[in-house]
Amino acid sequence: MEKRFGCTGFWYSLPVLLVISHASSHGVGEGRFLWRNDMELERHLKRINKPAVKTIKSTDGDFIDCVDMYKQPAFDHPSMRNHTIQVSAMLFFFFHIKPSSFPNGMKEESSHFQISQPWHKKGSCPEGTIPIRRTQKQDLLRASSLTSYGKKYAAYQPNFAHEHSLAYVNNGKYYGAKAIINVWNPNVEKNKLSLSQIWILSDQQGTAPDDLTTVEAGWMVQPILFGDNQTRLFAYWTKDRYQSTGCYNLLCPGFVQINNSLALGGIIEPTSTYDSDQFEIDICLFKDVKSGNWWFQVHDTPLGYWPSSLLTRLADSSPYIGWGGEIFNSRPKGHHTTTQMGSGHFSVEGYKKSSFFRNIKTVDDFNQFTNLVSIQEIVETPTCYDIQMGENSTSDWEYFFYYGGSGQSPNCS
């Protein structure tokens, strides 16, 4: 049985990828930061957590705050103080909040199986509000520092690395990307992460500049950020190579959410099972050609956007798009992490066993979805994780790949 939750980011040349891989730590810390006092912690919680119109206690233990759309964290950004949420049309005296343009051929609505999150069982957020996963004290205490919470960091550490199995296109002008990704719940070590995502990047060659800009989205397992090993929906952005700008989800000002049914950082359920039922999310990141904003769409539903004013190096287009998996690896005991990528199984095992991206496309300068041209692969540790490309033009898989792996094993040490 195959069910879908949701429309439908990588990198540049290998040398640049390696720079980023070793430089960023995805906010993964050891939880050793010493808060000066509870007052400091409470002040930070108050900055992050906005007043709720309604609060829903999820069956998974999360609290979902339904926050007035115009009081969400995005509006704390200095450049957003006078920002007006993008409105495309007025319908029966009500403003319709959505992109003013979509890639040609994209469906705006669909009746197929939608994403499910545990908090849906306990209620819904009213119109005009957005669901935000509440940050709690224990979330902050797991962070390595006050400023690292919710961020990726670029402090070079020789024993820390990010490893990828991904496909990418470069040297073009891309205005978006999409893929259907099956969702798994990989085993992840305590201070590690495993994710599958789409990357939209601003640079393509040489050494990554300090103003590297990206927008990213997909699913992830990250115990240090969320305190568990659950699979969660996420988005990320930065405009200075993961140094001080940007964050996951709504943990800092930036991303403007307009949808009241999905919570960034919320658990995705159900997930795929080995040799059994497969579940997918349909992800699309695309540039609204009229507003210049970069939109994140899930299951044919616009979730929100990164304002063009924040992403000046993506003001025109992106030269690099990537799709694939990533894990964080450190060697505190001298061996490779046991963290799994994707399903935890290699690409050779195929459907229902290995993880996959399918129906992979980019958006061209005519605002059309196009098939991939000159796609390339990067696999940094092929004995631990791998990738295998495929094409089937007669099915809805079109361009696809299987990817993933088990981490530490007799061949991966």
Structural tokens at position 300:
């044919």
How buried is 54 (Cβ within 10 angstroms: 0-12 exposed, 13-18 middle, 19+ buried)?
Answer: middle
With vertex at residue 37, the alpha carbon angle to CA 36 and CA 39, rounded to the nearest 5 degrees, is 130
Sign of CA dihedral 180, 189, 326, 352: negative
For 93, phi then psi, to 5°, come to 70, 10
For 164, phi then psi, to 5°, come to -125, 150
Task: Look up 163 and say whether it is catalytic.
Answer: no
Which residue type, as a one-letter code, is found at position 410? P
Tokens 């924040």: give the residue: 310
Structural tokens at position 407:
């981490």
Catalytic residue among 189, 269, 280, 326: 326
- Could you tell me if 159 and 165 are in contact, meaning their C-beta atoms sit under 8 angstroms apart? no
CA–CA dist 209, 48 (Å, integer) = 29
Task: Look up 216 and say whether it is catalytic.
Answer: yes
Catalytic residue among 163, 189, 216, 380: 216
3-class state of residue 25 by DSSP: coil
The set of catalytic residues is: 216, 326
